[in-house]
Amino acid sequence: MDQPVQRNSSQGHTRNKSGARPSRPRSSTKGPLDADEAPVFSPISSQAARLSTGRQGGSRTSSPLPRSPAPRSPAPSAAPVTSKDFSFLLRPEIFHQISPLSVPTPFRSPARQPAPETPIPELLANGHFRAAAIAAVQALTSSPVSAAAHPPVNPTDHARIFELLYTRLACLCLIDATSLAAQESKALEDLNSAFYLDPLSGAHLVPWELRVLGVRLQAIGFGDPRRAVMSYYELAREARAQIARAGKARDHSAAERWKHRLAELGVKVAGALVEMDDLAGAAEHLGTLGCGEQPFKVGGDGRLAMSRALLWLHLGDVEAARRCVRDGKGGETGEGIVEALADMADGEYEAALKKWETLRQTMEENDVHDEMVGVNLTVCLLYTGKMAEARDILERLVDTGQTSHTLLFNLTTMYELCTDRHKNLKMRLAERVASRQPTGQGWEKTNADFKL
């Protein structure tokens, strides 16, 4: 007779003990823009490590990202390290037509336009940025018009694809078509995604310059300015990881390069906060960058110190701007420029005029004709009632080959203040500028430059 099965009471309706829930460690109060923090592991390398074990080699049939261009920074190697298919970035519908109607008539003359087969590097060297933007798209989309000068792009040649995309977006910004560049950059989506990483080495396939440019353009394109701040911090986290890695490898040149990039990202975050109209946040952030007792300059040129000073002036804190360049932090010339700008911000145009004249004389003694100094000098002359002298200085700057948007805009404003027949003067100025030899500073201008 079968014995009845006896169940242990301990196996009855007992309640299983739930596992202890792991607690999240407290986040550090320091941000990734502080270069002197403890080394952190790069999220890129950890993602790549997971990819290298879980992804089999083969063609990718779909992409988790919307189609988009990638930033142009030094490629990890001369040849592509991966056979990823980037054909989704080569679709013609991504790119917009560039209308020539925004260009004044003297610049549209066929005799002055470059030939269609002109190589892109030559277009960039001569300042034909609109033509370079068009040529980049023709190469990306394998247009038969430029097949001879711009061979079709291999969908797996990520280095050339990203170089052409960077050329396209940067040139659009240079010809005052930032809105078009912002729309085209939306195809990039999340450049921090693992899709843009090499599955073997973990290196980012997208150049650094294009990644940085894409941050601001995507913030404009998606209408989300906060996206720029978050993206800059993602790049800053990667820069800090690279600084730590270069320090362990005793690669001092790489460490300096990444420190320079980190410092630039800090200034860009402040600029993004200003564009968000968060002036208080921008001022607070600027106050955390670097140490007030140390020269805040990279490469010995004081450019970042000047950037901080200009942001402080934009925020209205004149004394903070002066502190950024004192004691040689921005160089002797930089300190003089900020002092003159600070006087203008305080409405002391007579005092500022004397400082600009001193700077101008010093530079001309060294055979340097600085356009920025000349333009600010003429603004002070205008506010002190010396319009004719101001106009003469701007005309001489144009004769020396200076043709920036700021210079042309101020000169055409002088025309409007001097006479009612200013349209003829503006057209003659456009003809003068168009007749000059092309330079890398930009030859072709827009109607907005001449207030037409």
pLDDT score, position 13: 46
Q: What is the mean pLDDT of residues 38-57?
A: 40
Given pLDDT bands bounded at 50, 70 and 90, which one contains residue 26?
very low
Cβ contact 175:128 at 8 Å: no
Supply 178's token pair.
């930032």
Tokens of residue 236, six digits: 């800053």
Strand-pairing partners, residue 204, are 197
Share of the chain above pLDDT 90, in %: 39
Residue 330: which pLDDT band, with cuts at 50, 70 and 90?
low
Whether the full predicted model's pTM is greater than 0.85, yes or no, is no
pLDDT of 325: 84
pLDDT per residue as tens digits for the range 92-109: 899 999 988 889 999 988
CA separation for the pair 328, 335 (Å, rounded): 8
What per-residue confidence (pLDDT) applies to 389?
Answer: 93
Report the pLDDT value the prediction gives residue 190, as an integer from 0 to 100: 84
pLDDT at 180 over 60: yes
**Encoded tokens for 75:** 């490629």
Do residues 445 and 403 make contact, with C-beta atoms less than 8 angstroms apart? yes
pLDDT at 14 over 50: no
How many angstroms separate the CA atoms of 294 and 324, rounded?
A: 10
| pLDDT interval class at 277 (50, 70, 90) | confident
pLDDT digits (tens, 9 = 90+) for 302-329: 677 888 888 888 888 899 888 888 876 6
For the chain, the maximum distance between any two Cα atoms, rounded to a whole number of angstroms, is 124
Q: Average pLDDT in the 61-88 region?
A: 50
In this predicted structure, the answer to whether residue 7 has a pLDDT above a threshold of 70 is: no
Whole-number pLDDT of residue 4:
46
pLDDT digits (tens, 9 = 90+) for 399-432: 888 888 899 999 999 999 988 889 999 999 999 9
Asked if 141 and 124 count as a contact pair (C-beta separation under 8 A), the reply is no
Side-chain half-sphere CA neighbours of 338 within 13 A:
32
Percent of the chain at pLDDT exceeding 70: 77
Tell me what the mean pLDDT of segment 250-257 comes to. 92
Distance in angstroms (rounded) separating the CA atoms of residues 129 and 171: 5
Mean pLDDT of 331-354: 90
Burial class, 164, CB count within 10 angstroms (exposed 0-12 / middle 13-18 / buried 19+): buried
Burial of 240 (0-12, 13-18, 19+ CB in 10 A): buried
Contact 67, 183 (CB under 8 A): no
User: Which range among 78-87, 232-241, 255-264, 404-413 shows the weakest confidence by mean pLDDT?
Assistant: 78-87
The pLDDT score that the predictor gives to residue 35 is 52
| CA gap 418, 395 in Å, rounded | 14
* Alpha carbon distance, N-terminus to C-terminus of the chain: 110
- For residue 197, what are the β-bridge partners? 204
Looking at residue 146, its pLDDT comes to: 56
Calculate the CA 256 to chain-centre distance.
19
Question: Which tokens hold the place of 171?
Answer: 């040139």
Q: Quick check: 5 pLDDT over 50?
A: no
Q: Please, are residues 439 and 419 in contact by the beta-carbon 8 Å criterion? A: no
> Angle between the 225-248 and 43-54 helix axes, to the nearest 10 degrees?
80
Contact 198, 98 (CB under 8 A): no
Q: Which residues, 6+ apart, have CB-to-CB distance to 261 below 8 Å?
A: 208, 235, 239
- Per-residue pLDDT for 300 more than 80? no
Lowest mean per-residue pLDDT among 53-62, 249-258, 350-359: 53-62
Q: What distance in Å separates the CA atoms of residue 108 and residue 300, rounded to the nearest whole number?
A: 42
Residue 91 pLDDT more than 50? yes
Confidence category of residue 373, pLDDT binned at 50, 70, 90: very high
